[in-house]
Chains A and B, each alone.
Chain A
Amino acid sequence: MNDMTPDREERSANLKGMGCSRKRVEDARFTQGKGNYVDDIKLPGMLHGDFVRSPYAHAKVVSVNKEAALALPGVVAVLTAEDLAPLNLHWMPTLAGDKQMVLADGKVLFQGQEVAFVVASDRYIAADAVELVEVEYEELPVITDPFESLKSDVVLRPDLDGQTEGAHGPRKHHNHIFTWEQGDEAGTNQVLDNAEVVAEETMYYHRTHPCPLETCGSVASMDKVNGKLTLWGTFQAPHVVRTVASLLSGIEEHNIRVVSPDIGGGFGNKVGVYPGYVCSIVASIVTGVPVKWVEDRMENLMSTAFARDYHMTGKISATKEGKITGLHCHVTADHGGFDACADPTKFPAGFMNICTGSYDIPVAYLAVDGVYTNKAPGGVSYRCSFRVTEAVYFIERMIEVLAIELDMDAAELRRINFIKKEQFPYTAALGWEYDSGDYHTAWDKALKTVDYDGLRKEQAERVEAFKRGETRKLMGIGLTFFTEIVGAGPVKNCDILGMGMFDSCEIRIHPTGSAIARLGTISQGQGHATTFAQILASEIGISADSITIEEGDTDTAPYGLGTYGSRSTPVAGAATAMAGRKIRAKAQMIAAYLLEVHDDDVEFDIDRFVVKGAPEKFKTMKEIAYAAYNQAIPGIEPGLEAVSYYDPPNMTYPFGAYVCVMDIDVDTGVPEIRRFYALDDCGTRINPMIIEGQIHGGLTEALAVALGQEIAYDDIGNVKTGTLMDFFLPTAWEVPNYETDYTVTPSPHHPIGAKGVGESPHVGGVPCFSNAVQDAFRAFGLRHTNMPHDHWRIWQTANKLGLHE
């Protein structure tokens, strides 16, 4: 029955279901300039908002004089904290359990902080008015270092003065936010104290920024006649924004419609709620007309959503043979002026506790201290699932350092410590249950493909040639084996502002056999309209080309928690499959009725139900859909619709093996990527073309972070990297071609076995690029040096090792 006859093959191909490289349905509009992004929205009478921002990183705001600005023709309003206070909107709650000023309430805590919101008839007048708002500041001492902050008498957050309890337990100091501990401290210390070998290292994962090509923005339109607020914006989680907007404004949730139109990349930048969104809403309520706010690039880099900024100290112990026995990790996390990290509520350091990585480590301990400084708030997951990037960087560096300590090959050290295939589901020392994996197979395939032994031989020869003065270029071999934790997540332990992190899909089959499915997620380039239709096509036997996927409009889509942390496929993809199965179950009953047999006597076959043993007797899904709307079937309601809210039983754990080969000019510090091989295992593969595209993109963002991209501050808190001259976004010229490869280890608990892939290449890519740079200098005694590995820092590494003498 299940032989792939030509007829069945053709029917299956026509579905364009899972596993095929279906071309993207989104592309017609994007290639013709007909995308619809927030800044494309133009409403009658719409006003433009613009911010007065603080030039100082820490200052008292003595006064704000808006007279001159208000006198400028075309200026409609200038809002300050004083204006927002009666509405109780001068502060807002953050996703991390802290609160953040919407507009400066007596002081500013970082350069670029929002002080006043100017509303004018066009963007030009708004910009002129910003210049006319006179703000008197009184400078305060600036703290940009979290360690200094914990020692300083300066109270950064007087609003919290005397509060010894934070959102995540006791605060140790007036600039301390939380301590988050996981694992067995005593047990870990005991193992470390008695270990044969211990490697220690301190590393800084620098502050950077997701910097999608489209900045953040919103258009708020308060319809006072009907009492309805519509808010378009760059929201990776539109439904949560609706709930927050309702809680903040007091407008009932049914009277708020939030729409995420096309989004020009997110990468975590568009998860949080920003003062600009709130101000556009308030301004529209105040003025009664639509108000648009779109930040410029400088504002984006200075004020919305940094990522990383983790100071990490690790100790890893092993036997002399290299079997890892314990891991200790401490993080001092610089959260800036407000704790606005975008993590599930119970995880103030995200999933940093995946820092045991892909290795079978018997005992481990992690402690994270969050600290306030005079830097921008944020701490978003930049193309990663809640600090997984930091965790993987940490463990993959610790492995390299341990390999140096043991004088052992780093590939071999990884191999002997991998969690074995038969150990899955595997409970890690810091609590997570890894769903499935086959690390040895992936690793062996990767090393074989790149001819790892040959590379090491070539590298050794290069070192000798360098020593003889025949070359000034060193060769680095970067290795990384990563395990991600994505698809947040089970409602039992993951929520955002109290909302469980399920996701949803609602399907309507139309009478003629086409369909629409709506989801609680929102694509920002991932191609949901293409891939979710493929999942559904395979589940319900209707061609993907006949299925519309819609997301992002809270008036029509079912509630969901949005798209970030690679959660769309693991959670909403599962909801799609589950809703599809409900459709199929009803279709089976209809088919059985139409075929005049018992329900159990028909079975699903690609695009139809057939009578078991009599394949010539069948009803196609198209016929079944028509019957659902046109035929009175005893005991069955008309119509063919289903909805699923999916609470995943566990996260999914994609993994991968990456190898980077790099040549480094010791004299200029310029690295050249010769080869990058990426093997990813994301479980069941829905659309190989899109997977490959995600990997190319994630690797390129990883290259940027590892080799130069940072948000840097000077001593008085000025942002030194505020434009794309200094904030490194590579062009086509600086980026190599990547080789991609895969293995398939389905997730056992996911309805279609898919694990998610969008962030893997970034998570695995950063340590791989970094390891390549650092490996080049291993032969000369380098143990560890911090990213970003830009030209001067690489040069400095070489210089410190005496390679310029």
Chain B
Amino acid sequence: MIPAAFDYYRPETMDDVIAILQEHGDDARVMAGGHSLIPMMKLRMADVPHLIDLQAIDGLSDITIEGNRITLGAMVTQHDLIAHDGLTAAAPILQETALQIADPQVRYMGTVGGNVANGDPGNDMPGLMQCLDATINLIGPDGARSVAARDYYESAYMTAREDDEVLVSVSFDTPSGGHAYEKQKRKIGDYATAAAAVQIANSGGIVASASIAMTNLSDVPVWSDDAAKALIGTSCDADAVKAAVAAMLGDIDPSEDNRGPVAFKRHVAGVILTRAITRAWSRTTSRA
């Protein structure tokens, strides 16, 4: 598997990145760790005449926790997420998710930006970012702008990012309460058959807030407001969880692939979500 030839750029400033993108339009792509893009290029399913490597841009690998706000640079790797104690203390769901992505080597190269930016329905971070109500920060020729993760994904591989924009970071408030990232996959290195990101806050035994998103069950990540609402105000009892699952099942739209037919995926989505909610809730009570 050999990619087609391309011109390689390793700019040192974001202005240079934008300039190259503007010059070449569709023919240019930015690359972070390359673990989504390079296999596609090797299979000649992605044609990238101008490849812009972001590794020399300062600051893109930073994990910043300022007060209640966490920002992850686009070049932060899954390995960085796992290894960062402060982050794990502030938002443990990131480590739990990252550990379920690919394998150790891929996690050393795979980045938050690459995982979030492209709109690959199989990636885990987009659903997680929707669960955390993250903001996706972009820079383009007209300067910086932010898009809510919940508004970012339009369809498979189609996002709110313009071709001449670069995803530079994601930011979100420190989540509160209990968390869980539950994923069923066929083996290490596989995408999810179904995965669920759940954050729940507990106030005196009652669900004070909840956020629920699922991955690889539609052409975009599925954040279900109805599912969260089904939990809020309840004691997260079996009926409430059932209602949340039912709401989520109304929002997903899985398609058949080698992981199985639609009926199976819908069933597993319900099971995985039930487990995620249960685990997240158990973590709130254990903390309370």
Contacts and interface: CB of A to CB of B under 8 A. Distances in A.
A and B touch in the complex (CB under 8 A): yes
B24 to A, nearest CB: 20
Given A728-B186, A731-B103, A791-B184, A298 B1 contact: yes
B264 interface: yes
B4 interface: yes
A296 B1 CA distance: 6
A734 B271 CA distance: 21
B57 to A, nearest CB: 28
Interface in A703-734: 708, 712, 720-721, 724-726, 728, 730-731, 733-734
Interface in A646-684: 667-670
Interface in A280-299: 296-298
* Majority SS at the chain B contact face: loop
A791 B269 CA distance: 13
B5 A128 contact: yes
Given A123-B2, A791-B193, A731 B187 contact: yes
A791 B272 CA distance: 14
Given A124-B2, A127-B2, A734 B187 contact: yes
Given A795-B264, A795-B267, A796-B264, A670 B2 contact: no
A725 B267 contact: no
B144 to A, nearest CB: 36
Interface residues of B, number: 25
Contacts of A252: none
B189 A792 contact: no
A8 interface: no
A792 B187 contact: no
Given A670-B184, A791-B259, A731 B264 contact: no
B68 interface: no
Interface in B32-77: 43-44
A792 B4 contact: no
A773 to B, nearest CB: 15
Given A131-B44, A712-B258, A792-B259, A731 B188 contact: yes
A792 B2 contact: no
Interface string B186-218: 111111010000000000000000000000000
A790 interface: yes
Contacts of A124: 2, 5
B258 A726 contact: yes
A668 B261 contact: no
Q: Which of B4, B187, B261, B272 has the most CB of A within 10 A?
A: B187
A725 B268 contact: no
B53 to A, nearest CB: 19
Contacts of B271: 667-668
B122 to A, nearest CB: 9
A804 interface: yes
B264 A728 contact: no
Contacts of B44: 131
B143 interface: no
A209 B267 CA distance: 30
Given A128-B5, A296-B1, A667-B271, A795 B188 contact: no
Interface string B249-260: 000000000111
A128 B258 contact: no
Contacts of B193: 791-792
14 contacts: A123-B2, A296-B1, A668-B272, A670-B184, A708-B187, A725-B189, A725-B191, A730-B187, A731-B103, A733-B187, A791-B193, A795-B268, A796-B261, A796-B264
Cβ-closest 4 pairs across A and B? A792-B260, A127-B2, A792-B264, A667-B271
